[in-house]
Structures are given as C-alpha cells and as structure tokens.
Copies of this chain bind each other. A is one copy, B any other.
Amino acid sequence: MNKGLLVVISGPSGAGKGTIYSKVIERTGMKRSVSVTTRKPRPGEVEGVNYFFRTEEQYQQMIAEDAFLETAAVYHNYYGTPKAPVFENLEKGFDVLFEVDIHGVKSIKKKYPEAVAIFVMTPDFETLSDRLRGRGTESEDSLKIRLGAAKRELGSYEMFDYIVFNDEVERAIQDVIDIVNAEKRRIKNNLPQIKHLLGKE
C-alpha cells in the first residue's frame, strides 16, 4: 500500500492560509494534527481533541526524545507537533495537512524530507497590506513589521515545493487540493503499487 502524504501550508499573516487549510481539511478528509502544548486548557477544551496538554517538564522530556516534528515557544508557552500520531497516519495511508509558520516548515522538512510544502501568498504585497489594514486591528507600525516578515518569508521560497497565489480563495483551495492529488500520482509515491504490478514484491 502507498503511504500517506505529509503536506504543510505556510505563508505570511493575512495571505489566507488558515481559511484554505480549514476548507481543504473539510473537503478532502485529510487528517489534521493535534498539537502538544504547555498552555493550560481553556474551558471546553478537550485533551487529545484541541491539544495534548502537558507540563513543561513533560514537554522538555519530549524535546529530549526528539518526539516533535516542530516546536515553538509563544508567550512563555510551548506548542509542538508530535511525530508519533502523524507517522501512524502516514503508515496507514492517510494524508495529513498542517498549517505552520516558516520555522515549522524548516524543521519538518529537516525531519521528514518527503513533506510537501506549500507557500500561500497574496498576488502581491500591496494586496497583503490592504488585507491586513482591512482587519482594522493593525497599527501602521505593526503593519510595517508584518510586511517585513512577509518579505523575509517569501525570501525563503527555496524551502517550499509549491506557491499558491490566493487571488480568489475558491481557486486557491482548489489549487491546494490539486497539488495533493498530483503528489499522490507521483511515481515515487506509487512505488509499492508499481513494483507489485511488475511482480517485484
């Protein structure tokens, strides 16, 4: 049986990767990953559904055991993607989709080079700036910081396999779905089946 695909979506804040991520999960049934965090559960959050909640000591132990595909600190809390459940899904033939930041992509590509990385970008930086401004929550200073970060992120394009320009969100969602489907047709992702047909296993 062919293994599942590990696909990661990244891109600057405001490019729309969150919406695309949710819609692709919804339409394809790809598996999402449940993160491990040291943050305290909020009311209604369920262990193993929203997050795996761990103490900082447990978390550090997991880091020491190389149990994460990627891990990051946000406001004194850790968030990480645990390897084991992801690799189990891939072995069972399920495709997995993550939404991660640029550091996450770098880490995942290092630990699992077969991962497919998609960069989601607006058609240009003016559009990104307009969208961020349209949120009405960004000061001009924070806007400048976000645009600078976006440029650095796009500057890391060599880390990625694909770029989807989110001009029209339905088109961008379909582009990601097409990329996943195409990747599943790649020769290297069909070797078990090809070798089976050739009577070589």
**Which residues does A use to contact B, with CB under 8 Å?**
118-119, 121, 124-125, 151, 154-155, 157-158, 160-164, 175, 178-179, 181-183, 185-187, 190, 194, 197-198
Complex alpha-carbon distance, A118 and B187, angstroms: 9
State in angstroms the CA–CA spacing of A157 and B187 once bound together.
Answer: 7
A2 to chain B, nearest CB (A): 11
Taking CB as reference atom, which chain B residue is nearest A186?
B162
Contact call B187/A161, Cβ cutoff below 8 A = yes
Q: Which residue of B lies closest to A150 (CB)?
A: B197
Measured between beta carbons, the chain B residues less than 8 angstroms from A187 are 119, 157-158, 160-163
Q: Check B198–A185 contact: CB distance below 8 A.
A: no
In contact, A185 and B164 (Cβ under 8 angstroms): yes
Pick from B154, B178, B186: contact of A197, CB under 8 Å? B154
Check if A190 sits within 8 Å of B163, measured CB to CB.
Answer: yes
